[in-house]
Structure 1
Amino acid sequence: MIDLLWLAVSIAVIVLLILKVKLHPAISLVIGTLLLGVLARISFGELAGVVTGGFGDLMAGIGLSVGFGIILGQLMSDSGGARVIARTLVGATSERFAMFGLAGAAFLLSIPVFYDVTFVILVPLAIAIAREARKPLPLAVGSVALGAGTAHTMVPPTPNPLAAGEILGFDVGIMLLVGGLGGLVAVLGGVALYSAILPRVWRPAVDVEGEPAMVEHAGVRREPGFLLALLPLAVPVVIILTGTAWTALAGELPGWAVLLTDKTVALLIGALVAYLVAARGMTRDEMNTSAGTAVQSAGIVLLVTGAGGAFGAVIEAAGIGDLIADVVSAFGGNAFVALLACYLVGMAFRVAVGSGTVASITTMTIMASLAPAIGVHPVWVAMACLAGALSLGHLNDSGFWVTARIPGFSVTGGLKVYTLPELIASVVALVFTLIGATVLPMG
């Protein structure tokens, strides 16, 4: 049991290095990983290999996929396709359901596009919708934050849910199905609850600091139509889900189908489709600049994600993952309690380090051996961990400041339009997970 103490010590060191020493999360994770390896008595000769092997194994599984997904999303944003999708979805709703349309647009856009980019794209639309539908601006802003944060946390090809399959050992198509459905439920339920709660807590005198800063978007010569704009996202999703369904119905896939439906190839095809769609309104140099920006963003994400993979490899090599599973089994293997623990651990990491990516990856690596001990499919463990990582973003999270400052809100206002709606969505997602694990454990 002393190894559980060493795990706690290494986690505390990681958090302190990020918060107090201000080291980059990737560096902090690697230092904490090496410390855990030493404390858990992994030999010095093996430790470096375990760390680099864990990093490399996770990168082999998701590195190219994440890169292609980020390029796809950047091209969708820069080509104007993301704005077309947002305007169309919001325009299809009535005034009564405008907030659901706004949150749904944010949810769909944030599947391939980073949270900050999605928010900046949707802020002018949120301001306009709030005025036209006679809804409070903070409700519109919070709905965007809720939709974007949920998708970015739970639906591949964003890094957190894409890594879930590699860390916990299941097909990414299952994550796409469960994460997509659970995320959609969290958005719909979350907006309904948020709409009821916000008027009770919003205080303009302290929550508003100034006028919204309107974000001007650089126009493209020719924006794509709605269906064309949606194509780069729809193509890889359909390909991946086809492979998952084919495997479930017919068993082993033929070789060509295994290649074509692999997530890396599917996202490569999606990125190529994004290039073709963007070519209608962007020059070759503009598209290459867009892809270069995406690659820079991908490098930071992959470094943090890979460091989390190294941490998981040391946990596995030290036998700590099995020890956690044994402890859960010794207490009766109660799935409800275990999934709630996953959620709370993810929440604790989100509060401590701010980054949802760090919180997700670290929590899933710690809980990677849990599913067999509680008799559920590992996707439910992933969902509980991801829901916890969504829960309590606050002042140490860059997304908080983007969400608070652009609409002109104070710190307290930011807590009510960023932290509160994402917390509500995370609780709805947790309830979905607990019900799903009970009704359809798939263990």
Structure 2
Amino acid sequence: MQTFFLFALIIASVGLMVIAISKWKIHPFIVMTVIALLVGLIWGAVYPESELTPAKVVSSVKSGFGDIMTSIGIVILCGTIIGTILEKTGAALTMANAILKLVGKKRSVVAMGAMGYVTGIPVFCDSGFVVLSPISRALAAQSNVSLAVMGTALSGGLYATHCLVPPTPGPIAMAGTLNADLGLTILVGLVISIPAVVVAVLYAKLVASKIDIPANSEYTLDELKEKYGKLPGTLHSFSPILLPIVLIALSSVAAFPGSPFGTGFLYTFITFIGNPVVALLLGVFLAITLIPAQEKSHTLEWVTQGVTDSAAILAITGAGGSFGAILKLLPIADSVGGLVSTGIGILIPFIIASILKLAMGASTVAMITTAGMMAPLMETMGYTSPLAKVLVVMAIGAGSMVASHANDSYFWVVSQFSDMKTEEAYKCQTGMTAVMGITIIILLFVISLFI
């Protein structure tokens, strides 16, 4: 009876969350915080022996919010600031041009997917698509390819790393909530997202190519560069992303058995600068050096915009931590222990995230909510090793891809900037994101059989 009531309560709380956010248009922070309180109060009232008193419920909500902010709050802030500056200074365009030169204009569809893959690491997929869509349009005109093909490939590249690779806020929040090693999460995310991009490019060539949308490009590539003015250098543009990734990776290596960097000063130094907070702060300072002298007056404005843009993410992430803290106090682990023996363990976070994504539209909210729900289950389900935790992060990210449709702002960004009709966007964007997510979870399921 207790198990039935437990799952009924969780399902009802998630259903109420979906309705409140999607239909009633209440901000996710308020919804998740209130529902966390309600779930705790209801359980405590029905099962007094749980000692989940009103005071303990409030205390848990507060500590859950604070714990997740302690873990990844500064990291999210820094990542958002870096992304904003890369966008404003034209560094994102420089990165795109570098990839285009590397891949070649003849493989323009592959180039668009690769551009999205790299740009989606520090920049939100919505913003990244807006910044890179003129290149997509110019390349489509130059290559005599439908804009639907270019837009779909670019969208898939951006979406893959947006959902799977820190320092994008969603993956960072998941790693923090599930106590996954950030360096390993970045490494695995970079690798796992490659098949997703490959699938997106193939989908663009095989499916989106059947939709003829003329490019109608306003600028050529050269005119686009002139429009931005003098762009930052290639290495300089990549450095705010590469430096934190390298430092965090080195810190993870330093913790390997055998102490490859010893246990003295070098170890202490590497683990300090490789701490995600320090590494991302260094990335912020590098990003600020991208701002040209004549634009220095905008430094405070752009940093402030990055901080402002991160506020909603921080609030939702904290509320997700609160919800997760309450769920940890419920006997969920005891009730789902049998799922491990069924062999579908890694599918559970994928399914939950998919349902939330389809219902609410926001990938980041789906990631954070699912991570909060999975946190109390990790030990019972056997996901205690560093790699296992990261695979759960990837599974949630894959679920948050399935699928981008009309309740997702990214769906409309892609459709409007690619001149797609709504039915065409469903065929290109919704179909592609569903295939991407399913491809990744199949890959993760196979990997999970060997760990």
* TM-score, length of structure 2 as denominator length: 0.89
> Distance in 2 between the 1:324 and 1:210 partners?
55
Instruction: Give yes or no for contact 2:207–2:428 (8 Å, CA) kept in 1.
Output: no
> Distance in 2 between the 1:259 and 1:375 partners?
31
Equivalent position of 1:326 in the other structure: 337
Equivalent position of 1:140 in the other structure: 150
> Distance in 2 between the 1:221 and 1:209 partners?
27
Tell me if 1:256 matches 2:261.
no
Higher mean displacement: 294-303 or 243-252: 243-252
Tell me if 1:86 matches 2:96.
yes
SS in 1 for 2:103: coil
Equivalent residue in structure 1 for 2:38, among 6, 24, 35: 35
Equivalent position of 2:412 in the other structure: 401
Equivalent position of 1:192 in the other structure: 202
Equivalent position of 2:235 in the other structure: 227
Equivalent residue in structure 2 for 1:15, among 15, 18, 22: 18
> Distance in 2 between the 1:31 and 1:212 partners?
48
> Distance in 1 between the 2:24 and 2:233 partners?
48
Higher mean displacement: 20-29 or 245-254: 245-254
For structure 1, the residue ranges without an aligned partner over 5 or more in a row are none
Equivalent position of 1:265 in the other structure: 278
CA offset at residue 255 of structure 1?
3.5
Deviation string, structure 1 residues 133-184 (Cα, Å, up to 9, x no partner): 2222101001111011111111000111112222112210111011111012
Structure 2 counterpart of 1:354, which letter? G
Equivalent position of 2:435 in the other structure: 424
CA offset at residue 72 of structure 1?
0.8
Identity among equivalent pairs (%): 25
Tell me if 1:158 matches 2:168.
yes
CA offset at residue 222 of structure 1?
3.1
Instruction: Give yes or no for contact 2:138–2:215 (8 Å, CA) kept in 1.
Output: no
CA offset at residue 23 of structure 1?
0.4
Instruction: Give yes or no for contact 1:36–1:314 (8 Å, CA) kept in 2.
Output: yes
Tell me if 1:302 matches 2:314.
yes
CA offset at residue 211 of structure 1?
6.2
CA offset at residue 189 of structure 1?
3.0
CA offset at residue 96 of structure 1?
4.8
Indicate how the Cα distance of structure 1 residues 37 and 218 shifts in structure 2: closer, same or farther if over 3 A, else same.
farther
CA offset at residue 131 of structure 1?
1.9
CA offset at residue 221 of structure 1?
5.2
Instruction: Give yes or no for contact 1:333–1:374 (8 Å, CA) kept in 2.
Output: no
CA offset at residue 282 of structure 1?
4.8
Structure 2 counterpart of 1:222, which letter? K
> Distance in 1 between the 2:145 and 2:105 partners?
9
> Distance in 2 between the 1:89 and 1:418 partners?
23
Indicate how the Cα distance of structure 1 residues 213 and 357 shifts in structure 2: closer, same or farther if over 3 A, else same.
farther
Equivalent position of 2:83 in the other structure: 73
Indicate how the Cα distance of structure 1 residues 369 and 378 shifts in structure 2: closer, same or farther if over 3 A, else same.
farther
Equivalent position of 1:339 in the other structure: 346
Indicate how the Cα distance of structure 1 residues 406 and 32 shifts in structure 2: closer, same or farther if over 3 A, else same.
same
> Distance in 2 between the 1:235 and 1:302 partners?
24
Equivalent residue in structure 1 for 2:391, among 376, 380, 384: 380
> Distance in 2 between the 1:311 and 1:55 partners?
9
Higher mean displacement: 300-309 or 131-140: 131-140
Instruction: Give yes or no for contact 2:141–2:216 (8 Å, CA) kept in 1.
Output: no
Q: CA RMSD in A?
A: 2.3
> Distance in 2 between the 1:281 and 1:410 partners?
43
Equivalent position of 2:108 in the other structure: 98
Deviation string, structure 1 residues 87-127 (Cα, Å, up to 9, x no partner): 22123223553212111111111111111210011111111
Equivalent residue in structure 2 for 1:314, among 322, 326, 335: 326
CA offset at residue 228 of structure 1?
1.2
Instruction: Give yes or no for contact 1:339–1:434 (8 Å, CA) kept in 2.
Output: yes
Deviation string, structure 1 residues 226-256 (Cα, Å, up to 9, x no partner): 1111111110000000011121244486443
Structure 1 counterpart of 2:334, which letter? L
Indicate how the Cα distance of structure 1 residues 184 and 227 shifts in structure 2: closer, same or farther if over 3 A, else same.
same
Higher mean displacement: 362-371 or 158-167: 362-371
SS in 1 for 2:65: helix
Equivalent residue in structure 2 for 1:238, among 232, 240, 246: 246
CA offset at residue 86 of structure 1?
0.5
CA offset at residue 438 of structure 1?
2.5
> Distance in 1 between the 2:105 and 2:368 partners?
39
> Distance in 1 between the 2:378 and 2:55 partners?
31
Deviation string, structure 1 residues 383-407 (Cα, Å, up to 9, x no partner): 1111001111211111111111122
Indicate how the Cα distance of structure 1 residues 217 and 44 shifts in structure 2: closer, same or farther if over 3 A, else same.
farther
> Distance in 2 between the 1:293 and 1:271 partners?
13
Indicate how the Cα distance of structure 1 residues 124 and 228 shifts in structure 2: closer, same or farther if over 3 A, else same.
same
Equivalent residue in structure 2 for 1:410, among 421, 427, 432: 421
Equivalent position of 2:7 in the other structure: 4
Instruction: Give yes or no for contact 1:236–1:270 (8 Å, CA) kept in 2.
Output: yes
Indicate how the Cα distance of structure 1 residues 209 and 34 shifts in structure 2: closer, same or farther if over 3 A, else same.
farther
SS in 2 for 1:248: coil
CA offset at residue 76 of structure 1?
1.1
> Distance in 2 between the 1:130 and 1:219 partners?
19
CA offset at residue 433 of structure 1?
1.3
* TM-score, length of structure 1 as denominator length: 0.91
For structure 2, the residue ranges without an aligned partner over 5 or more in a row are 45-51
1:167-182 aligned within 5 A: 167-182=177-192
Instruction: Give yes or no for contact 1:79–1:281 (8 Å, CA) kept in 2.
Output: no
Equivalent position of 1:51 in the other structure: 61
> Distance in 2 between the 1:373 and 1:96 partners?
51
CA offset at residue 261 of structure 1?
1.0
